[in-house]
Structure 1
């Protein structure tokens, strides 16, 4: 695919992409802003527009810092959806609660078989963040089970409205808008991380080039996915928050399986590449650029949220 800023004019064929070295570098003189190639690249083509009544951008990115944390986030449409002209089914939401200094977040992956799951992913992210912020504002503990219930209710109610149903039907909502969800927050005290999970969206801590998984999900051997089991909203399994400390030299990562499958156990080429790039915060646009790497067979949507504790330095 082509991008402005040094690449070919839209609608023209690209020159043959150079094969990257093991760090994802590109030979001098090659076009700028073409996707970084990690291993064998995916097919080269111009993306089709997302054919949907609701505007859904190909790529979103965000980045900011508070006194305690630096945040970078991006969601990019996968190569398969770009080729088919279907919308990005991943989404994210991230906000700060100023009185406590907490960074509150949600990352979701719409189930591919559900026709409107791209809307579902957006709904559950916003609902989850809203409920966590409301609990923090009330001065009490976060009711994590209610966070899941409210996110699921959004899917059921919005499906009723979208499809013009006489009454809400969770079974229809599951067929139309099913979505995974990881939601949580990071508090400055510690810092302390709390997470809940519905489905196979993942979370990791990166430290000194090594990744430690924080949630249940897919099993990996190197770059290969061994198995997975997915439960998606609007189903509401019992959840219990995973909590722990985030070291001052660690990075919290929340990502959909478009990132997690390529990452594997973190010892392969993708893991090494991102360990280097995520050692310190990147500008938001460059963060999204690296997430949009080209690697054969890994063509799903990718969403990644990264949170760095800030130090006095």
Structure 2
């Protein structure tokens, strides 16, 4: 519970139509250089209305370089099979990035194009008469975290309003890597989404060092986080100073707060020098 909680009720099972996935998923592991934790939970609105979780996250390690390849996607509520779209986008993006690492040449724009093509193929297989945008529209944020001489070199891109932050563990502050989706008090309503390919792709790069944590999440996490100065920011700054268990991250992410009832997904990466 954070501040005023939402209503209490027993979640209902999601309908099979539109894709299926567990209410909650979590994962966690370490390489010699980084520790990863991730979790994705169904929002209260979807639990109440028998809708599936429409967020997904995936992460793998590229064996040749020790690079973590990751993706987070948030299927649009307007898409009839949003859960399928998010899952397909994550799998396609991770697969494309992994293959590029094999070839030692990473091209984010090519990853976006290949992911969009995968969504079109998936839509054609599911419902040949339907538009892929209507069936599988999804946001996507994906990238790599490669061990380097000065820290973990991160490189990522996004389509839509999912985002990423660097948490300064010592100060408990969150530094957004992408522009926030609000402009003053006006919230943007138009969300860029795959399989539409943007003319200009948002991309960021940097180095993650000891005392910092990379956070990649959907707007179900980003909206209540805000600028990180409130109660949600304080909660996650305290519990993510060091890697929690995967189950505890899922528990944290499933906090109850009035009006914030969307699916929530968060992937976090710590340099191993700060793991304990």
Unaligned runs of 5+ in 1: 1-36
2:146 aligned with 1:146, yes or no? no
Quick one: distance in 2 between partners of 1:56 and 1:156? 21
Deviation at 1:226, TM superposition (A): 4.1
State the Cα deviation string for residues 8-27 of structure 1 (Å, max 9, x = none).
Answer: xxxxxxxxxxxxxxxxxxxx
In the other structure, the counterpart of 2:177 is 214
Which of the numbers 204, 210, 221 marks the counterpart of 1:259? Answer: 221
Which residue does the alignment assign to 1:183? 142
State which structure, 1 or 2, has the greater radius of gyration over its C-alpha atoms: 1
Partner-residue secondary structure (3-state), 1:293: coil
Quick one: which of 211, 218, 227 aligns to 2:187? 227
TM norm structure 2: 0.93
Question: Residue by residue, what CA displacement relative to the aligned partner does 1:143-201 show, whole Å, maximum 9, x if unpaired?
Answer: 11110011111111111111133xxx7xx111111000001011110311101010000
**1:47–1:220 Cα change, 3 Å:** farther
Query: More deviation in 258-267 or 93-102?
Result: 93-102
Structure ranking higher on relative contact order (CA contacts 8 Å, 6+ apart): 2
SS of equivalent residue, structure 1 residue 311: helix
Work out the number of aligned pairs and report it. Answer: 268
* Offset, 1:296: 0.4
| Residue number among 156, 175, 179 corresponding to 1:195 in the alignment | 156
Distance 2:187 2:50 in 1: 28
| Moved segments of 4+, more than 3 Å | none
Structure 2 segments unaligned to the other structure (5+ residues): none
- CA apart distance, 1:71: 0.3
Distance (whole Å) between structure 2 residues aligned to residue 62 and residue 180 of structure 1:
21
- Distance of aligned partners of 1:206 and 1:145 in 2 relative to their CA distance in 1, 3 Å threshold: same
Report the Cα offset of residue 66 of structure 1: 0.3
Q: Matched residues in 2 for 1:92 and 1:215: separation?
A: 19
Q: Given the superposition, is the C-alpha separation of residues 263 and 226 from structure 1 closer, same or farther in structure 2, using an over 3 Å criterion?
A: farther
The answer for the alignment partner of 2:50 in structure 1 is: 85
Q: CA RMSD in A?
A: 1.5
How many angstroms apart in 2 are the aligned matches of 1:158 and 1:124? 10
The one of 199, 204, 210 aligned to 1:242:
204
Query: Contact (CA 8 Å) 1:201, 1:217: kept in 2 or not?
Result: no
State the partner residue of 1:270. 232
